[in-house]
């Protein structure tokens, strides 16, 4: 007799093999069944799974298992975001190859995920560094090229001369290269771009579709990143020349307060404006310095405002005033028109600039109950007001004046309403090796020639040796670079830039629906059935770029005819971090807890249980050794409970939330009490699963039920219907707990003699009539004040309740010396005695 010691290693290995052999997590599209697509953000194969992964995937796995038990057809896939810089660095360091390093890591990490018992359909596994994968994004690129959505342009980049490579903004640390620490320059380089700006309006507009499904703060971050700004373009004539300068402004109402003009250092008119000016060289030097500034610093609010006069003037179209034209360091060429009408009285940056260079200031917006004096103002006034010093527009509320002034200028072709977006086109060129090749050829006579689709994939030569200095080996690799032009056959050069790795992660969730299809990126029926992703789970650090690029990609693929979806992810759950001693686990802090050692010591189930119990999914989680010990102890408690019942011959194959008939007739006393607790637990757990996945409270409810079973089992083991009630409750614990700790639950389920796998067993439904209590508690009031509580039969009649209330000691004391005037019974709730 007895189940032996709870040995997670044995139990977990056994059930992982069982699931694997029964293929119970493999799914196909099935129109007859409702689907649920749950997805975690796929990992970069860095070498090892960390606790953050375990948390992310455990949350997803509980959802997947729960939805499956609710009868849904659940797609839950896993794959690898396998291109990227760390592989190159590791290859240099370990004198190996990025491909070898990556594939070995995938192998190790896959084994770790399997050891955690996640319910993936492993047949759909994909690695983005495989040509069978990136072949399709090369095709998408060509189609986008054809539609004008991919293009090449000269653009400023961060350049490290010693590494001879472009650096992403994140790789520039205080103006220096993250790798070699030398000064980063700004350089113009031909680069590939995706025209994400063509979708700016839709990307903003469709955020509405995600309300309620995505966290509000993520929606706000997306909105700010796209940065829609409603304003106008106004044109100013340059004095004495046949030249106009157009500005973008959100405040056309302040036009009469525009006292000078500020241009970006890269503004194309600068050269013309300074022609003949005796200080032209000084202006050029200033422009060069500004253009070389770190672009992040240049856009920062606290930038010290600097500028230089160009020697030229333009004319304010409303006031006729001459406005000196300056070049200013805070004006960016990439936004609006690269020219700003400066209104120092009402714009803080212009205010600082004007104070510094003693430029004139004119108040044109008057607040309600104050008069602004430019001489004594200490900052710009940017709030609403009515117009002053604005001629015919005086007295007009400024919101109204915005429209009126644009209309007025519009009549002479000098103004029009305009919408601007902060969003920039997506630079997708990387001068890196470990990425997907961009499929074009540079021909000396034909120019840029797309690689014909039949020649895809353009394979990355996986055996190319990475270079010690970190530069891509591709440009020097003759076998890769030298090709015949696909158009004219002449000797041509292959493009050696590779795609930004954000590209692979922008569509992998669609590919899972048809991961093994070699003839097309997607099987249309499967894509239609499974998408959109119903629940996407990952870290908040991806709240902007990855999610934005994915949203963009889905819209492009829709316009290319692949899908009819407009949005990739219906619901988004951003899980909190895993902390140790209050801070994020990291190697440098030395506070990392390795999942492997936890699984080795306590098992996958205890690790999953601790992580899911310690905190609700969106909140940070503090790692605690005592916590995982506690989780392990609880599982042992469940194990021993089942074993006890078995030893006592009280373990029956009764279904969870068993009907009354299975308990041998209408239950009473402790049998009924346990049954009530069991059904109420099923109700609470189901509610918590449905309501934002509050696994922690669901687990707490199950712990309560187990406690109650311990307290009742000695009495119930031998009572009529008792073994059945205990077995039903145990079955309920196992079913409800199985999404969290699937292995232990399967094992005990089998030990109960239950049929079939728990993984595919339907979720139980509680019986509302089981929740009804035999006795209910009534509050007794005297003159509106609570003086006692009574337990009465749930079906007691009013007269019985009245009589019973008058036996309560404390109630009687409060009635001493008074006469009863009225006695009101609110059935099921209270008795109120009115006395005086
Ligand atoms: C005149 C003005 C008066 C402005 C005023 C503001 C307040 P958002 O809301 O971010 O779109 N601007 C336009 N292009 C710029 C550029 N390339 N670099 C730096 N600043 C630029 O900001 C729009 C405002 O930012 C524009 O409205 C312009 O200044 C400035 F009381 O025009 B405003
Ligand atoms: Zn050619």
Helical segments of 159-238, H only: 200-205, 207-210, 216-226
The domains spanning 228-420 and 775-835 adopt the same CATH topology = no
> What burial class does residue 241 get, using C-beta atoms within 10 Å of its C-beta: 0-12 exposed, 13-18 middle, 19+ buried?
middle
Convert 624-686 into a string of H (helix), E (strand) and C (coil). CHHHHHHHHHHHHHHHHHHHHHHHCCCCCCCCCCCCHHHHCCCCCHHHHHHHHHHHHHHHHHH
Q: What are the distances in angstroms from CA 809 to CA 542, 785, 814, 816? A: 65, 15, 9, 11
Give 689-707 pLDDT, tens digit per residue: 998 899 999 999 999 999 9
Instruction: Give the closest residue (by CA) to ligand 1 atom 28.
Output: 249
Ligand that lies nearest to the alpha carbon of residue 490, given by its number in the listed order: 2
Contact call for residues 368 and 385 (beta carbons, < 8 A): yes
**Per-residue pLDDT reduced to its tens digit, 387-402:** 999 999 999 999 999 9
State the ligand closest to the CA atom of 233.
1
The total number of residues written for the chain in this structure: 836
Distance in Å, CA 451 to ligand 2 centroid: 11
639 CB near ligand 1 (under 6 Å):
no
Please report the atom of ligand 1 found closest to the CA of residue 333: 17
Cis peptide before 415 (omega within 30 of 0): no
Average pLDDT over residues 659-666: 90
Q: Is 340 in the pocket of ligand 1 (CB under 6 A)?
A: yes
Taking only the tens place, the pLDDT of each residue in 120-130 is 999 999 999 99
Q: Is the CB of 305 under 6 A from ligand 1?
A: no
Q: Does 587 appear as a known binding residue?
A: yes
Q: How far apart are CA 345 and CA 356, in angstroms?
A: 14
Query: Which bound ligand lies closest to the C-alpha atom of 443?
Result: 2
Q: In this predicted model, which residue has the larger pLDDT, 146 or 778? A: 146
Per-residue pLDDT tens over the stretch 8-27: 999 999 999 999 999 999 99
Q: How far apart are CA 167 and CA 220, in angstroms?
A: 28
93-107, 360-374, 400-414, 465-479: which has the minimum mean pLDDT? Answer: 465-479
Is the pLDDT at 635 greater than 90? The verdict is yes
Cβ of 335 less than 6 Å from ligand 1: yes
Q: What is the pLDDT of residues 238-252, one digit of tens each?
A: 999 999 999 999 999
Cβ atoms of 464 and 477 closer than 8 Å: yes
Instruction: Please report which ligand is nearest the Cα atom of 263.
Output: 1
Ligand 2 centre to CA of 188 (Å) is 26
Give the helix ranges, DSSP H, for 249-279: 270-274
Ligand 1 contact, 346 CB (< 6 A): yes
Cβ of 696 closer than 6 Å to ligand 1, yes or no, is no
Average pLDDT over residues 318-324: 96
Q: What percent of the chain has pLDDT over 90?
A: 80
- Angle made by CA atoms 615, 618, 624, in degrees to the nearest 5: 30
Buried/exposed 170-194: b ≥16 CB within 10 Å, e otherwise: ebbeeebbebeeeebeeeeeebbbb
- Residue bearing the CA closest to ligand 1, atom 14: 336
What is the CATH class of 644-771?
mainly alpha
Looking at the domain that runs over 775-835, which CATH code has it been given? Answer: 3.10.20.590
Q: Using CA positions, which residue lies closest to atom 32 of ligand 1? A: 249
| DSSP symbols for 472-503 | -SGGG-HHHHEEE-TTT--EEEE---EE-TTT
Residue-wise pLDDT for 481-515, tens only, equals 999 999 999 999 999 999 999 999 999 999 999 99
CATH class of 228-420: alpha beta
Q: Tell me whether the omega of the peptide bond preceding residue 63 falls within 30 degrees of 0, making it cis.
A: no
In 3D, which of 629, 583, 607 has the Cα closest to residue 53? 607
- Residue 170 pLDDT: 62
The torsion angle over the Cα atoms of residues 309, 310, 311 and 316, rounded to 10 degrees, is -80
Torsion of Cα atoms, 364 then 370 then 372 then 377, to 10°: -130
User: pLDDT tens digit string along 727-771?
Assistant: 999 999 999 999 999 999 999 999 999 999 999 999 999 999 898
Is residue 120 within 8 Å of residue 25, measured between CB atoms?
A: yes
Domain 8-135+503-579, architecture per CATH: 3-Layer(aba) Sandwich (3.40)
Judged against a pLDDT cut of 80, whether residue 172 lies above it is answered with no
Element (H, E) at 38: strand 35-40
pLDDT in tens, 257-313: 999 999 999 999 999 999 999 999 999 999 999 988 877 778 888 899 999 999 999
pLDDT confidence of 470, banded at 50, 70, 90? confident
Q: Which helix (H) or strand (E) holds 196?
A: none
pLDDT tens-digit profile of 219-238? 999 999 999 999 999 999 99
Q: Is 332 in the pocket of ligand 1 (CB under 6 A)?
A: yes
Do 430 and 436 contact (CB within 8 A), yes or no? no
In this predicted structure, what is the pLDDT of residue 1? 56
Going from the Cα of 190 to the center of ligand 2, the distance in angstroms, rounded, reads 19
User: Beta-carbon neighbour count of residue 339 at 10 Å?
Assistant: 24
- The finding on whether 253 has its CB within 6 A of some atom of ligand 1 is no
The rounded percent of the chain whose pLDDT value lies above 70 is 99
What whole-number distance in Å separates Cα of residue 9 and Cα of residue 601? 9
Domain residue spans of the chain = 8-135+503-579, 228-420, 644-771, 775-835
Per the model's pLDDT, the better-predicted residue between 2 and 285 turns out to be: 285
Mean per-residue pLDDT for 773-798? 83
In this structure, the residue with its CA closest to atom 5 of ligand 1 is: 347
Q: Which of 336, 363, 267 is nearest to 307 (CA)?
A: 267
Please tell me whether residue 755 adopts helix, strand or coil conformation: coil
Mean pLDDT across the chain: 94
Going from the Cα of 340 to the center of ligand 1, the distance in angstroms, rounded, reads 6
Our answer on whether the CB atom of 246 is closer than 6 Å to any ligand 1 atom is: no
Distance 241 CA to ligand 1 centre (A): 25
């Amino acid at each position: 007799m007895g189940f032996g010691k709870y040995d997670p290693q044995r139990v977990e290995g056994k059930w992982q093999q069982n699931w694997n052999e029964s293929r119970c997590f493999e799914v196909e599209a099935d129109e007859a069944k409702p689907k649920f697509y749950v997805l975690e953000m796929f990992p970069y194969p860095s070498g090892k799974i960390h606790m953050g992964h375990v948390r992310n995937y455990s949350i997803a796995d509980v959802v997947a298992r729960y939805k499956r038990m609710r009868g849904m057809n659940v797609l839950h896939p896993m794959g690898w975001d396998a291109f990227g810089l760390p592989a190159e660095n590791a290859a240099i360091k370990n004198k190996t190859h990025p491909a070898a390093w990556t594939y070995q890591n995938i192998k190790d990490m896959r084994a770790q995920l399997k050891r955690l018992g996640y319910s993936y359909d492993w047949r759909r596994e994909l690695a983005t560094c495989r040509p069978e994968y990136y072949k399709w994004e090369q095709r998408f690129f060509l189609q986008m090229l054809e539609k004008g959505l991919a293009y090449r342009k000269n653009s400023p980049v961060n350049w490290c001369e010693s590494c001879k490579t472009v650096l992403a903004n994140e790789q520039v640390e205080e103006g220096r290269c993250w790798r070699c620490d030398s000064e980063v320059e700004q350089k113009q380089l031909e680069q590939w771009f995706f025209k994400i700006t063509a979708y700016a309006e839709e990307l903003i507009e469709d955020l509405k579709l995600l309300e309620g499904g995505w966290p509000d703060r993520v929606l706000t971050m997306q909105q700010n990143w796209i940065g829609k700004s409603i304003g106008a373009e106004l044109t100013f004539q340059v004095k004495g020349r046949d030249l106009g300068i157009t500005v973008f402004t959100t405040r056309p109402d302040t036009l009469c307060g525009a006292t000078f003009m500020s241009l970006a250092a890269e503004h194309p008119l600068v050269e013309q404006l300074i022609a003949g000016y005796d200080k032209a060289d000084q202006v050029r030097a200033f422009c060069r310095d500004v253009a070389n500034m770190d672009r992040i610093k240049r856009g920062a609010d606290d930038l010290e405002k600097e500028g230089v006069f160009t020697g030229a003037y333009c004319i304010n179209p409303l006031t006729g005033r001459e406005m000196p034209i300056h070049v200013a360091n805070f004006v960016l060429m990439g936004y609006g028109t690269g020219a700003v009408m400066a209104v120092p009285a009402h714009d803080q940056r212009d205010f600082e600039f004007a104070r510094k260079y003693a430029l004139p200031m004119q108040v044109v917006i008057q607040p309600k109950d104050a008069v602004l004096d430019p001489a004594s103002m200490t900052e710009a006034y940017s709030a609403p007001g009515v117009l002053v010093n604005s001629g015919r527009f005086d007295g007009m509320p400024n919101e109204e004046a915005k429209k009126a002034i644009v209309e007025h200028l519009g009549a002479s072709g000098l103004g029009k309403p305009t919408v601007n977006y902060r969003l920039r086109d997506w630079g997708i060129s990387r001068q890196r090796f470990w990425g997907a090749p961009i499929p074009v050829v540079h021909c000396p006579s034909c120019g840029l020639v797309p690689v014909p689709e039949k020649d895809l994939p353009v394979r990355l030569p996986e055996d190319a040796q990475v270079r010690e200095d970190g530069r891509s080996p591709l440009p020097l690799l003759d076998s890769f670079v030298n090709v015949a032009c696909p158009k004219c056959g002449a000797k041509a050069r292959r493009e050696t830039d590779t795609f930004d790795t954000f590209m692979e992660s922008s569509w992998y969730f669609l590919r899972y629906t048809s991961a093994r299809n070699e003839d097309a990126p997607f099987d249309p029926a499967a894509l239609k059935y499974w998408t959109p992703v119903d629940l996407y789970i990952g870290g908040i650090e991806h709240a902007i770029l990855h999610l934005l690029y994915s949203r963009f990609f889905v819209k492009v693929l829709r316009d290319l005819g692949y899908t009819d979806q407009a949005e990739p992810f219906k619901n988004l759950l951003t899980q909190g971090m895993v902390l140790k001693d209050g801070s994020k686990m990291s190697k440098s802090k030395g506070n990392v807890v390795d999942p492997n050692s936890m699984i080795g010591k306590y098992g996958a189930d205890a690790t999953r249980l601790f992580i899911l119990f310690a905190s609700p999914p969106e909140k940070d989680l503090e790692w605690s050794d005592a916590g995982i010990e506690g989780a392990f102890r609880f599982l042992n408690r469940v194990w021993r409970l089942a074993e006890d019942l078995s030893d006592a011959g009280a373990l029956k194959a009764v279904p969870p939330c068993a009907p009354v008939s299975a308990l041998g007739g209408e239950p009473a006393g402790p049998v009924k009490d346990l049954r009530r607790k069991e059904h109420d637990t099923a109700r609470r757990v189901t509610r918590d699963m449905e309501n934002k996945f509050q696994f922690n409270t669901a687990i707490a409810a199950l712990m309560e039920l187990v406690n109650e079973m311990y307290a009742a089992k000695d009495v119930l083991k031998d009572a009529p219907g008792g073994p059945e009630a205990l077995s039903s409750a145990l079955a309920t614990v196992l079913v409800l707990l199985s999404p969290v700790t699937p292995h232990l639950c399967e094992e005990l389920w089998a030990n109960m003699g239950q049929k079939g796998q728990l993984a595919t067993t339907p979720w139980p439904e509680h019986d509302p009539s089981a929740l009804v209590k035999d006795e209910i508690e009534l509050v007794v009031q005297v003159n509106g004040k609570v003086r006692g509580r009574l337990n009465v039969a749930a079906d007691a009649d009013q007269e019985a309740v009245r009589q019973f209330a008058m036996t309560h000691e404390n109630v009687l004391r409060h009635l001493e010396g008074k006469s009863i005037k009225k006695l009101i019974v609110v059935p099921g709730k209270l008795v109120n005695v009115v006395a005086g």
